[in-house]
Amino acid sequence: MSQFRRVWAISLKDIESYYGKPPLITWGLLFPAVLLLSVYVKDPATYLAIAPGIIAMTLLFGNTSMAAIVVTFEKRAGTLQRLLLAPLSMRTIVLGKALSASAYGLVSALALTLVLMLVLAMPLANPPIFAAGLMLGAGCFSLLGLTASVMVREVFEAMTLLNFFRFPILFISGVFMPLSQLPYWLKPLALTSPLTYVVELLNFGVTGRSEFTTPLIPLLAGLLFLLASWLLTEATFRRRAYA
């Protein structure tokens, strides 16, 4: 069996077992949709300023949460240990898990995007940059969720660990406030957040504008964060997956 087929088999098993459940699908869509609708009802003229940030937030919470939940459940049930004993490399296992979590986040984000385009007439000025932002965010956040999950034993522990990371960066990454309006002492912190670059890529994709002079800057930064997340996740799995 080829490497790709092994990765696909792991991802397909996770999708069939966990991601296709109706509560997970509705949770991934309803929360960001209601949040954005409340902003639109309050001020229809400015909803575009927050729409890319809400889509990025959907990726952040959906991907990290689902990646963490799946691995934590499998650790408790013993299925992860059986998978680790199979003739599979650690890289194959991590890639398979990350691929299924990324798919969940991408489907949720694309569904939300489609609703915004059809119902609220959201434009899409640069679809390739928008797609790049979605894929980089999905990959990076899924890997971070896997890292958190393998470090703990219970779902609530994984969520607590992730929230120490998610909520602080949510308010410094341009989701609700442009980077140019942040206090000067917060701007260096914003540049250390992977969410910042995802938001800016989505901003450029939707409006054609960004806080950066060129989309190449957030694109390269997003690739660096994706690589760093991969190295961190693989190293953590090698140390903690058998614990």
Comparing CA positions, the residue from 141, 140, 142, 221 lying closest to residue 179 is 221
Tell me the H-state helices in the chain. 3-14, 22-42, 51-77, 79-85, 90-119, 127-150, 155-170, 187-190, 194-207, 216-240
b (16+ CB within 10 A) / e for 92-114 = bbbbbbbbbbbbbbbbbbebbbe
Is the Cβ–Cβ distance between 53 and 210 less than 8 Å?
Answer: no
In the chain, where the domains are located: 3-240
Helix axes 51-77, 22-42, angle to 10 degrees: 160
DSSP string, 32-74: HHHHHHHHHHH-GGGGGGTHHHHHHHHHHHHHHHHHHHHHHHH
The amino acid that residue 52 corresponds to is P
Residue 174 — left, alpha, or beta (φ > 0 → left; ψ -120 to 50 → alpha)? left
Looking at residue 192, what is its pLDDT?
Answer: 92
The amino acid that residue 87 corresponds to is P
Looking at residue 243, what is its pLDDT?
Answer: 60
- Tell me the C-alpha distance between 33 and 88, whole Å: 39
CA-to-CA dists, residue 62 to 123, 147, 220, 230, angstroms = 24, 15, 23, 18
Measured from the Cβ of residue 34, the count of other Cβ atoms closer than 10 Å reads: 9
Looking at residue 1, what is its pLDDT?
Answer: 54
Cα four-point dihedral sign 46, 52, 55, 59: negative
Give the angle subtended at the CA of 71 by the CAs of 237 and 25, to the nearest 5°.
140
Looking at residue 108, what is its pLDDT?
Answer: 83
The answer to whether the predicted template modeling score (pTM) of the entire model surpasses 0.85 is yes
Give me the residue label for tokens 């296709």.
Answer: 20
Reading the chain (243 residues) residue by residue, the pLDDT tens digits are 577 888 888 888 887 777 766 555 555 566 666 666 766 666 666 777 788 888 898 888 888 888 888 888 888 777 777 787 777 888 888 898 899 889 888 888 888 888 888 887 888 899 999 999 999 999 999 999 999 888 877 777 888 888 888 888 888 888 888 888 888 888 899 999 999 999 999 999 998 888 898 999 999 999 999 999 999 998 888 887 666
